[in-house]
Amino acid sequence: MHEEYTCQYLLRSGEICGRTCWRVDGCYLHWQARKRFPCKVCGIPTSAEPGLCRNHKGGYYVTQYIRRLREKAMGL
């Protein structure tokens, strides 16, 4: 027998979808969607790799770029 699950996809508004579904992965709209997590700084849902929203990810990538330049200059 099938079990009923609740879709745990995090919407842009910050709410959980909450539809009932037959898949553990989510409802028919969200089962293949990228998982979203709250931004580490402000809590806005994002699926970006560093876990930061569009407003806060710029500093992360600048830091990574500077780190790569330093490693290249040191010969690591």
- What DSSP string describes 31-46? TTSPP-EE-TTT--EE
What does pLDDT average to over the chain? 85
**Percent of the chain topping pLDDT 90:** 17
Q: Token pair for residue 66?
A: 């500077």
**pLDDT exceeds cutoff 70 at 62:** yes
Model pTM score:
0.53
| Pairing, β 5-6 against β 20-21 | antiparallel
**pLDDT exceeds cutoff 80 at 16:** yes
Instruction: Report the pLDDT value the prediction gives residue 54, as an integer from 0 to 100.
Output: 84
Q: Is residue 76 very low, low, confident or very high in pLDDT (cuts 50, 70, 90)? A: low
**Pairwise CA distance, residues 29 & 39, whole Å:** 23
**Percent of the chain topping pLDDT 70:** 97
Residues with Cβ within 8 Å of residue 1, at least 6 apart in sequence? none
Tell me the β-bridge partners of 36. Answer: none
